[in-house]
Chain A
Amino acid sequence: MGGARLRRELAIAAVALALVAALPLSGDAYVLRLGTTVLLYAVLAMSWNFIGGMTGYPSFASAAFFGLGAYAGAVAQSSGMPMALAWAFAGLVAAAFAALLGVALLRLRGHYFAIASLVVAEVLREIANSATDLTGGGMGLNLPVMSALSIQAQAVLFFYAMLAVAALNFGAMLATAHSRLGFGLRCIQQNESAADMIGVNTTLYKTVAFTLSAVFVGGAGAIYASWVNYIEPPDVFDVLFSVKAIVMVLLGGAGSLFGPLIGATVFLGLEELVWRNLLQIHTGILGLLIVLLVLFLPRGLLSLARRHRSAAA
């Protein structure tokens, strides 16, 4: 039965992947930009799902991993590392940082963990601000311009790079969900002390989940840096990256496989719609959406589908 579910999940994922991969055929720069952004959001949401959704730890560290990845990639590229290598390097830097950080922070629970993870991004931002020699400080950092490729070709390249990270991320999530690790994480979410007692190595599992929540975000941060060509500390260490990741997962359905993807897609759609049409009040509308979501749909859009199906059955 487990095999059938896995096959169905893989089939859905393959169809979604094929649909998204066909996007550049439209040839429209704006569609491509939206596509790249939705993939970035999907990576943020899926990554947060490891630690927040599956393990139940309210992490606000996404912004820290994203910014760290962006700066690691940008600095590596500026010092001559080839672009693709710099992206992978950035992912590894973020992962190593998360593993070390996890050992210290994952002993905390609830609000305390939330705050500690939130503050990490603040500290990194201040460091990036003061380490002027390496990061350019408040002046920001310009990345090397690729003159070999046309604008359109560059846009397509960044799109597929982001798609690759998202696909890897999804694969990791799928593998985790069907492995002993996924089982252990869900045990921790239900009751950590009990999980400890039945022999789950909670410290190890949590740290692995935290590291998984960093590696893809770090890579995506580096791609983002190459994509927008200019980064500065307040932008890449923006707490909104953390908040959006959470909202997207809540929107789709926490802990589920497709929830983060659906959440990211719907969220970007709403954001674009609101951003474009309600210039003065779009943050307020975003706030209203969040409030309505929490009050009326706390288990995400997927719960609607489930409710519908059980009603039909």
Chain B
Amino acid sequence: MLALQILANGLMLGGLYACIAAGFSLVWGVLNVINILHGSLIVLGAYLAFFAYTLWGIHPFASIVIAGTLFFALGYLVQSALINRVIGAPVLITLTLTFGLDLMLANAMIVGFKADFRKLTLDPPLGSIALGEVVMPVDRLLAMALALALTGLLYLLLAHSRIGRAIVAVRMDREAAALMGVDVRRVYAITFGLGTLMAGAAGPLLAMIFPISPLTGPAYLGKAFVVCVLGGLGSVPAVIVGGIVLGVVESFAALWFGPEHAVTVSFALLIAFLIFRPTGLLGKKGYE
């Protein structure tokens, strides 16, 4: 019975992790940019939902749409004004750039919102559903649904729209895509915008679950890393798989080895994957 509950916990935690990692994975896979800013962007989205709810009573579900739209514009700007300038540079340069941007955003949030922990508490709460003895919180189920919906939409976008095909083309071969008349810089900006949009959309959802503070950004970023390596880059469903594997592994590690070792076990798994299967569970060759 306990094992069933732990499994359910792990699956739902995995949904959260997938939410956290979706945009990060897209940016990494297409732009080959490790976006250190990602964690802080999620936190910014959470703050947006928090203030929208406490000041104007806007439901966090509405904030998902609002934050997503605003964040797309923000991401588009950041990419076209800053990151595009060094996009051809070695891995380390873009990573350092986003690290610098992250320091700025995190500091700005501490000054603007203070470092105090806050939380978006819905009244009445969403509650939980019980299936037999297994209890499942509704907000986590919603997070899982959102992760599936976002990645599903992304999948449709990439597979069936003009811009989606351009993104895929750029990901496969930048030079060839440019020769075919694809405006590579615009595609980059749109992709980064989409990645930022997903961070913004995850924020309001996580605001209902986790305490909000500028200090939580790095924790989200760390999870996004692990999810991407476990799932693999270059395919949309990989985020879901990576998230769920991580959630389940952490949950059972906590049960078997004690909660203080849950994270260590997931890191050990991460290193094992990096060494023995750098493409991840679902990743495609050529992205390692």
Contacts and interface: CB of A to CB of B under 8 A. Distances in A.
A139 to B, nearest CB: 14
Contacts of B102: 287
Contact of A284 (B92, B107, B267, B278): B107
A185 to B, nearest CB: 16
How many chain B residues sit at the interface, stated as a range, is 35 or more
Given A130-B261, A284-B108, A294-B86, A105 B275 contact: yes
A110 B263 CA distance: 24
A288 B103 CA distance: 8
A119 B267 contact: yes
Interface in B103-133: 103-108, 110-111
Interface string A255-299: 000000000000000000000000011111011111101110010
Contacts of A174: none
A169 B99 CA distance: 28
B264 A123 contact: yes
A123 B111 contact: no
Contact of A291 (B101, B106, B225, B271): B101
Interface in A24-83: 52, 56, 58
Nearest to B92: A58
A122 interface: yes
B274 A287 contact: no
A99 interface: no
A70 B274 CA distance: 27
B203 to A, nearest CB: 21
A107 B275 contact: yes
Interface in B71-122: 82, 85-86, 89-93, 95-97, 99-108, 110-111
B271 A130 contact: no
A58 B85 CA distance: 20
Nearest to B102: A287
Interface stretch (A13-21, A190-198, A243-251): A243-251
A61 to B, nearest CB: 12
Contacts of A112: 229, 274, 278, 288
A108 B82 contact: no
Contact of B96 (A109, A115, A123, A290): A290
B198 to A, nearest CB: 19
Nearest to B218: A239
A23 interface: no
Contacts of B104: 284, 287-288, 291
A114 interface: yes
Contact of A111 (B28, B103, B264, B275): B28
Given A246-B92, A295-B82, A298-B86, A288 B34 contact: no
Contacts of B90: 56, 58
Given A284-B104, A291-B97, A123 B268 contact: yes
Interface string B15-41: 000000000000010001010000000
B94 to A, nearest CB: 8
Nearest to B263: A126
A175 interface: no
A105 B110 CA distance: 36
B270 interface: yes
A114 B34 CA distance: 10
Contacts of B271: 116, 119-120, 123
A151 interface: no
A107 B270 CA distance: 15
Contacts of A120: 271
B91 A289 contact: no
A109 B288 contact: yes
A127 interface: yes
B107 A287 contact: yes
A47 to B, nearest CB: 16
A96 B101 CA distance: 36
A284 B34 CA distance: 20
B225 to A, nearest CB: 6
A58 B260 CA distance: 30
A104 interface: yes
A250 B100 CA distance: 13
Contacts of A281: 107, 111
Q: Which of B263, B268, B275 has the most CB of A within 10 A?
A: B275
Contacts of B91: 58, 110-111, 114
Given A58-B95, A286-B100, 11 more contacts: A58-B90, A110-B32, A112-B229, A112-B278, A114-B95, A122-B267, A123-B264, A246-B92, A246-B96, A283-B107, A288-B100
Interface of B: 28, 32, 34, 82, 85-86, 89-93, 95-97, 99-108, 110-111, 222, 225, 229, 260-261, 263-264, 267-268, 270-271, 274-275, 278, 288
11 contacts: A111-B95, A112-B274, A114-B91, A118-B225, A122-B267, A126-B263, A250-B92, A284-B106, A286-B103, A287-B104, A294-B100
Interface of A: 52, 56, 58, 104-105, 107-112, 114-116, 118-120, 122-123, 126-127, 129-130, 243, 246-247, 250, 280-284, 286-291, 293-295, 298
